[in-house]
């Protein structure tokens, strides 16, 4: 039986259209509402309006990278407790450590599988 993720709002911040589309398709299939953003500035503008439950953010982005975006989200008292999951094509210890420093809750290496994505959401979704 497919698990139900309805009423969960997930934000995916990535400058790659492919990653945004892949994540959006997978998440919509399980009932999530998906908000996508192309970079940190775009995301910060949308977060205030949409109040996502979980945020996935790519590390390598133009203008405002994932670390800066995560730090800005976590520094805002309204979103301090919102789980932020870093997405990266590099599986480096340095990246993971840096992600933790800025307050990210988990680290997912791209390309991620449907299972990895859903397990991450399962681990971080707000308990209803």
Q: Which residues pair with 73 in a beta bridge?
A: none
Predicted local confidence at residue 1, as pLDDT: 47
Token digits for 26? 């997978």
Helix axes 66-74, 93-101, angle to 10 degrees: 30
Q: Sign of the C-alpha dihedral, residues 72, 75, 76, 78?
A: positive
Predicted local confidence at residue 106, as pLDDT: 95
pTM above 0.85, yes or no: yes
Calpha distance 44→128 (Å, rounded): 25
Q: Which CATH architecture has domain 9-122?
A: 3-Layer(aba) Sandwich (3.40)
Predicted local confidence at residue 91, as pLDDT: 75
The secondary structure of residue 92, as a DSSP letter, is -
- DSSP 3-state of 113: coil
Please list the pLDDT of the chain residue by residue as tens digits (128 residues): 456 788 899 999 999 999 999 999 999 999 999 999 999 999 999 999 999 999 999 999 988 999 999 999 999 999 999 999 999 988 788 888 999 999 999 999 988 999 999 999 999 988 75
């Amino acid at each position: 039986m497919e698990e139900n993720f309805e009423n969960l709002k997930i934000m995916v911040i990535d400058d790659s259209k492919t990653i945004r589309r892949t994540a959006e398709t997978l998440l919509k299939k399980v009932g999530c509402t998906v908000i996508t953003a192309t970079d940190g500035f775009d995301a910060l503008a949308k977060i205030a309006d949409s109040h996502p439950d979980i945020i996935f953010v790519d590390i390598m982005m133009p203008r405002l990278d994932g670390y800066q975006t995560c730090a800005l989200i976590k520094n805002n008292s309204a979103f301090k407790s919102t789980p932020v999951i870093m997405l990266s094509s590099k599986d480096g210890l340095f990246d993971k450590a840096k992600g933790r420093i800025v307050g990210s809750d988990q680290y997912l290496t791209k390309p991620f599988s449907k299972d990895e994505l859903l397990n991450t959401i399962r681990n971080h979704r707000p308990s209803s």
